[in-house]
Amino acid sequence: MRSAKPRPRRPPHSPRDRAARRYAEARGRRAETLCTWLLRAKGYRILARRFRTPAGELDIVARRGRTIAFVEVKARADLEAAILSITPHQQARIMRAALLFVASRPSLAAFNMRFDVMLAAPWRLPVHMRNAWTE
């Protein structure tokens, strides 16, 4: 029996992959900043940005009146791709992170919670979808 030749190991991420990842990360952060300013213009108060928990990350946490909006920001080439990029698994992770956020701030426990999505595409203002999914 012949032994198979070991395949040469390829680095996990080529320089091109790393550059694309850095570009996508920067585009997402710019979209989050734009969405934050748009929410402020609509009368929301920003409670947190890029809030990390063991369960996941919340892009924006905003409050208006007695409602807390947990906003997921998606920046894609077109709006349809942005909508399709939010999977049920990701929705569950955001819900768990939101519960941890509220648990860490007992004064917010009596507020209504809402899960919003803001979709950003090049050369247009972000689209704010209120209550994009429910618990």
User: Two tokens at 122?
Assistant: 């090049």
Domains located in the chain, CATH noted: 16-133 (3.40.1350.10)
CA distance 101 to 99: 5
CA distance 64 to 20: 36
Q: What is the pLDDT along the chain (135 residues), one digit of tens a residue?
A: 555 666 666 566 677 788 888 888 888 899 999 999 999 999 999 999 999 988 889 999 999 999 999 999 999 888 888 888 888 898 999 999 999 999 999 999 899 999 999 999 888 889 999 988 765
By the 8 A CB rule, do 129 and 91 touch? Answer: no
CB neighbour list of residue 109: distance below 8 Å, 6 or more residues apart = 102
Please, where are the H alpha helices in the chain? 15-41, 79-84, 88-103
CA distance 53 to 125: 29
* β-sheet bridge partners, residue 72: 117
CA distance 6 to 125: 51
Query: What pTM did the predictor assign?
Result: 0.82
User: Two tokens at 123?
Assistant: 């050369």
